[in-house]
Structure 1
Amino acid sequence: MDDKEKIISFELKLWQSGKRYVVGIDEAGRGPLAGPVVAAAVVFPQDISPFIFKDSKKIPENRRKILFYEIFEKAISVGVGFADSTEIDEMNILNATKLAMIRAVESLSVKPDFAITDAVFLFPFGENQLNLVKGDEKSLSCAAASIVAKVTRDFIMESLHEIFPEYNFKKHKGYPTKEHINLLKENGTSPVHRRSFGRVREYKPGRGRGKDCFPISAQERLRYFEKKFQELLRRN
């Protein structure tokens, strides 16, 4: 079995068993110290020809962006969901990730019969799910969801850089790099930092220019993230 056959083998079995809408679900942003976790859900038609063979982290940024728009052109439906840093602090990163995934599924234009996830169990699907370790390397739908989530989150972090330039989010995207830690030490935390994370908890809130202009409530922030996602789509 070659790579082209392997990457779609799970979907083929499910389609052949009578599952019409198989959704691949993945996320981006569980490890960063700041920003939302972003999830994506992708449903492909049964005649799709594989065009992705790596997870998003192994694909160069420029290529990811090209694939991002190609996914929207070829998929039956694509959904994106977010969980804000305040929600992450309230319910922990795993539960916030699941919430973002469910929101992504709920935003689809079709109702999936079966889900393939990157090793995350989603209660609403019950037995109608396959939780694959490294699912973004084994399933076309998961790989596509990984790319959509990654490109969307990177764009959001670049947008947050304009509000909080003192943290240089456009470079490290909120991940715990040496530069990011040093900027936290220098500036304190921003409203989008995850204050429940150990690397963030020791620092006090900063007084940067974005402190008073970024929405406080999770609902307002989710609307901001959705607005940025729509802006990204219009760039195609």
Structure 2
Amino acid sequence: MPKKYIIGIDEVGRGCLAGPVVVCAALAAQGRRFFNKKLGALRDSKKTSPRMREEWFLHLKKTEVIFAIARVSPSVIDKTNISRAANIAAERALKRLLLSADIREEEVDIFLDGGLYVGERGSNIGKTIIKGDEKIKVISAASILAKVYRDKLMSRYALKFKDFNFNLNKGYGTAHHIKILKSKGATSIHRKTFISNFV
């Protein structure tokens, strides 16, 4: 029997050379339709333009979606690995969300995108859905919220590390990013285990 609430969890920044991995856990009422007259139907962040993502971000914050965001630093990514780091962030985001919403795990259906899990491996307390960000709207909401949050964070890093254009590449390995990395060396927000081929 479906629970009263549904939680969607998604991550962004998995493949970046720089910056944290960010995870959002978003909660909504079961059966909630993520539709807006102006914006249309909610879609996964990868299929949404930056301007539309920003508008959805503002819309979701104003509506009855409760969410929590967690991030894991490049140094922890280097010490563990990106998959473990993303799952650490997922666990943190879920705990924060349940606490702020004053809801217990038993009261919600939890869905995670892709390779994410929460709890011990083999006893995932949620259900992991391949391409969940395309299939389950609350995961799409989490995807948008995480993406906009991380993009803003990388734009702030761009002010500190001016040569790297983090406001444009968001830490991904673009040709310009790799060229600057080779000539200038790594910053404090680069993932050392991701850039060993370039520096």
Normalising by structure 1, we get a TM-score of 0.74
In structure 2, the residue matched to 1:62 is: 51
Q: Percent identity?
A: 35
Which whole-Å CA distance do the structure 1 matches of 2:65 and 2:157 have between them? 31
**What RMSD, in angstroms, separates the aligned Cα atoms of the two structures?**
1.8
Aligned residue runs from structure 1 range 23-38, under 5 A: 23-38=7-22
Question: Quick check: 1:83 aligned with 2:72?
Answer: yes
State the Cα distance separating 1:130 from its structure 2 match: 1.7
The verdict on how the C-alpha distance between 1:127 and 1:27 changes in structure 2, with shifts beyond 3 A counting, is closer
1:48 aligns with 2:48: no
Partner of 2:109: 114
CA–CA distance in structure 2, aligned partners of residues 18 and 67 of structure 1? 26
The answer on whether the counterparts of 1:40 and 1:145 sit within 8 Å (CA) in structure 2 is: yes
Are residues 114 and 196 of structure 1, via their aligned partners in 2, closer, same or farther at CA, if it must alter by over 3 Å?
same
Other structure's SS at 1:117 match: strand
- Bigger drift between 52-61 and 129-138 goes to 52-61
Give the 3 Å change call, closer, same or farther, for CA 47–130 of structure 1 in structure 2: closer
Deviations 1:21-41 (A, max 9, x none): 321000110000000001001
Matched with 2:150 is 153
Query: Equivalent residues in 2 for 1:154-193 (5 A)?
Result: 154-193=151-190
- For the residues of structure 2 that align with 1:166 and 1:76, how far apart are their CA atoms? 37
Name the SS of the counterpart of 1:43 in structure 2: strand
TM-aligned CA deviation for residue 20 of structure 1: 2.4
Q: Shift of residue 107 of structure 1?
A: 1.6
Judged with a 3 Å threshold, the aligned counterparts in structure 2 of structure 1 residues 28 and 188 are, in CA distance, closer, same or farther, namely same
Tell whether the 8 Å contact from 1:189 to 1:203 is kept in structure 2 after alignment. no
Shift of 1:76: 4.2
Instruction: Write the mapping of 1:11-22 to structure 2, written as runs, cut at 5 A.
Output: 17-22=1-6
Task: For 1:43 and 1:95, locate their aligned partners in 2 and report how far apart those are by CA, in whole Å.
Answer: 23
Inter-partner Cα distance in structure 2 for 1:63 and 1:76: 18
Higher relative contact order (CA 8 A, sep 6+): 2
1:195 CA drift (Å)? 0.1
Structure number with bigger Rg: 1
More strand by share: 2
Unaligned 5+ segments in structure 1 are 1-16, 205-236
Are the aligned partners of 2:118 and 2:125 in contact in 1 as well (CA < 8 Å)? Answer: no
Answer yes or no: is the 8 Å Cα contact 1:117–1:142 preserved in 2.
yes
1:165 is aligned with what amino acid?
Answer: K
Q: How many angstroms apart in 2 are the aligned matches of 1:94 and 1:42?
A: 20
TM-score, normalisation: structure 2: 0.87
The structure-2 alpha-carbon separation of the partners of 1:178 and 1:138, relative to structure 1 and needing over 3 Å to count, comes to same
State which drifts further: 64-73 or 149-158. Answer: 64-73
